[in-house]
Amino acid sequence: MTKLKPPFPERNCLRSSNSMFSGVVFDLDGVIVDSHPVHKRAWREFLTYLGKNVSDLDLGFIFEGRRREEILIHFLGDLSDSQIHEYGKKKDEFFRQASEDLKPVEGTIEFIRILKQAEVCMGLATSASRQRALWTLQQLEVNDCFDVVVTGDDVIKGKPDPALYSLAAERLGISPHFLVAVEDSISGVASAKSAGLYCVGVASADDGARLIRAGADCVVPNLMKLSIQDLDERLKTSSPDRENRHFVSASG
């Protein structure tokens, strides 16, 4: 197994005087990596391994930014800390076994590399465990792009609570008002906005309407062909007024 290590670089965050942001904080599942199908399969196989059969509807519970501990207790009832730890490790084994189907979300890796080249600070704010988050970043070869990684292991409450994004801002040393969150779920948008960040949703036009209602400043179908200048313009034209937030194509 790949040895996990957090090579988070020390870097000055650059922000020009007329820019809206100096850092970007990404969600992991559904934003950087298209892991929802693999995640669902791993949870199903893990629960089956424990003798518990669950429906697709029941498995919908795992996709709203919840911490692993919350998911385990939801399906298995009250657990001791040692049980949560051991079950969590076992679930991650199922995830890694299914990871041959793991693919990056279209356009996100390219955008991360654009931000790195421009020396824009980046963070990760995910309800996933630290082990799985670091392992996934290493598989995608972007682990050296992130200055901070905040996971479900670092907070008591997962999304939609603002704790993940508040901690990411604190560790980056940047005011939330100069940070942009990139999210794909309602709970993630709520978490980012409650912490004071701008928020760009990544979703189809149909799902994008839900993210706008949740508070996203704008929604794009993906991050393909999105430049730093494009993102800045999106934020400059966004408004707290719902009617001024909008769904836009990634190209313009």
Residues annotated catalytic, as ranges: 27
d(CA 211, CA 190): 9
**Token digits of residue 107:** 């356009």
Task: At 104, list the tokens.
Answer: 């990056």
Neighbour count for residue 28 (Cβ, 10 Å): 21
What DSSP state is assigned to residue 179? Answer: E
**Two tokens at 21?**
């942001």
> Are 218 and 246 contacting, i.e. CB atoms less than 8 angstroms apart?
yes
Enter the tokens of residue 208.
């994008």
As a whole number of angstroms, the distance between CA 217 and CA 235 comes to: 7
